[in-house]
Amino acid sequence: MVLTDDQKAMLEGRYGEGAAYAMKIQVGIGECFDAPRMVPIKRAHVALSNQAGDLWFAEKLVKAGAKCRVAPTVNPGFCLSWFCGKWPHPVDEEDYKHMQRTDNAYRTLGAVLSYNCTPYIATNVPNFGEVCAFSESSATPYVNAVWGARSNRESANSALCAAITGCVPEYGLLLDENRKGNIIVHVEADMKTPYEYHLLGMMGDLIGEGIPVFTGLPKVIPPEALRNLGAQLNTSGAYGMYHIVGFTPEAPTLEAALGGNKPIREVVIKDKDLQDFAEKFSDENPGGKVDFAMFGCPHFTLEEAMYIAHKIEGKKLAIPMYILVSSHAVQMAERMGVSKVLADAGADLIPDTCPDQPVWHYLIGKTGVTESPKCAYYPRRRGIRFILRDLDTCIEAAMTGEVK
């Protein structure tokens, strides 16, 4: 790899041990992918997980004196003040210390402590063609496909290294030739709400490996639907990029999306494929009594919180409802009176928090209802069961305590 004088100096330790360590990792990644050089970035998102490996790496960089040149936004852990405000509060001493250490490490490194996994919708939005370093399942395909920015599917660690060094190795999705689609996915299903995009994203087995080019989708697709599509594509498979013909910026036509190449595969997705997935999921978790409802994996937008508030205003929920959002959405909801409407009905709007965190241990053995397959997928490993339904059915279930 050819490095600039400044990059060489960083690798040799002129900017300290931490920066040298980060640069060494990135040069190693670049060499694995035959990257010819490093290119500068002005934007990054780190999918911190608040889990042991992630914390070990962040603290190692802190001890080595690393500081971010580019302040990255970060993923959720869990909101200490919200959970400790509950009585009796469910936070183990060990989990409390862990979250505090994560908070301290990323503060010291100079990250933006956003604790939100959908920064690409409002707080960390790249320009068309901008090179950046985004980790997180829904974030990388969103910045590549929807904004036309350029990011590889970074890990939390490589994105943090990029934030520290201010550059990334030039390979993969940073290059024109690797951004072209090679699988045509004809969507013949009725894509009414963001829920159907969750299900479409779970079709990774049908779509297979490559860059999908979706045809047949509506002309206008809301950000929540695109967020869901990317999140689930990376739950059912591994996709850093996709195209939607006539909608995403690098796909004005099918030919442009394919870059003049022949597709390696064509796939048709019908209503039945989406229904089969939802039914199979429901076979594993048949309907009936539920103990709680959870939304916001990925984090819900303010508009989605407003939608739920509108639906439950003046009513009382039969079971707890947890709505996970950004701290910005919480602030706006408080100013607008949306939080009060939700709270009066018995719903909680929670910032900074992911369902895949140990703090939810008090839900182990219980059954929740959610509209997100990803929300159901990860907490299952922790012993929390979920039933999957569309959002309106989930809201209805929260009012009766039962899924029909």
Residues that bind ligand F3S (CB under 6 A): 75-76, 117, 138, 231, 297-299, 324, 354-356, 374, 378
- By C-beta, is 91 or 139 nearer to ligand F3S? 139
Complete DSSP assignment for 115-149: --S-HHHHTS-PPTT-B-EEESTTHHHIIIIIT--
Pairing relation of β-strands 288-289 and 402-403? antiparallel
Terminal-to-terminal C-alpha distance of the chain: 59
Nearest approach, Cβ of residue 379 and ligand F3S (Å): 9
What is the spatial distance between Cα 53 and Cα 246, in angstroms, rounded to a whole number? 41
What is the spatial distance between Cα 133 and Cα 149, in angstroms, rounded to a whole number? 10
Tokens for 274, please give them. 């989406």
Largest CA distance in the chain: 65
- By C-beta, is 67 or 361 nearer to ligand F3S? 361
What is the spatial distance between Cα 131 and Cα 89, in angstroms, rounded to a whole number? 43
- By C-beta, is 21 or 386 nearer to ligand F3S? 386
Nearest approach, Cβ of residue 154 and ligand F3S (Å): 14
- By C-beta, is 140 or 215 nearer to ligand F3S? 140
- By C-beta, is 290 or 297 nearer to ligand F3S? 297
- By C-beta, is 156 or 168 nearer to ligand F3S? 156
Nearest approach, Cβ of residue 57 and ligand F3S (Å): 17
CB 50 within 8 A of CB 98: yes
Q: Name residues whose C-beta falls within 8 Å of residue 220's C-beta, 6 or more positions apart in sequence.
A: none
Nearest approach, Cβ of residue 189 and ligand F3S (Å): 23
- By C-beta, is 150 or 374 nearer to ligand F3S? 374
Nearest approach, Cβ of residue 74 and ligand F3S (Å): 10
Nearest approach, Cβ of residue 137 and ligand F3S (Å): 6
Phi-psi region of 314 (alpha: psi -120 to 50; beta: other; left: phi over 0): left
Q: Which residue has the tokens 């302040």?
A: 71
Nearest approach, Cβ of residue 295 and ligand F3S (Å): 10
Nearest approach, Cβ of residue 378 and ligand F3S (Å): 5
What is the spatial distance between Cα 130 and Cα 393, in angstroms, rounded to a whole number? 40
Give the DSSP H or E segment for 73. strand 73-74
Which amino acid, 168? V
Nearest approach, Cβ of residue 73 and ligand F3S (Å): 12
What is the spatial distance between Cα 307 and Cα 323, in angstroms, rounded to a whole number? 12
- By C-beta, is 340 or 380 nearer to ligand F3S? 380
Which amino acid, 399? M
What is the spatial distance between Cα 106 and Cα 153, in angstroms, rounded to a whole number? 21
- By C-beta, is 75 or 152 nearer to ligand F3S? 75
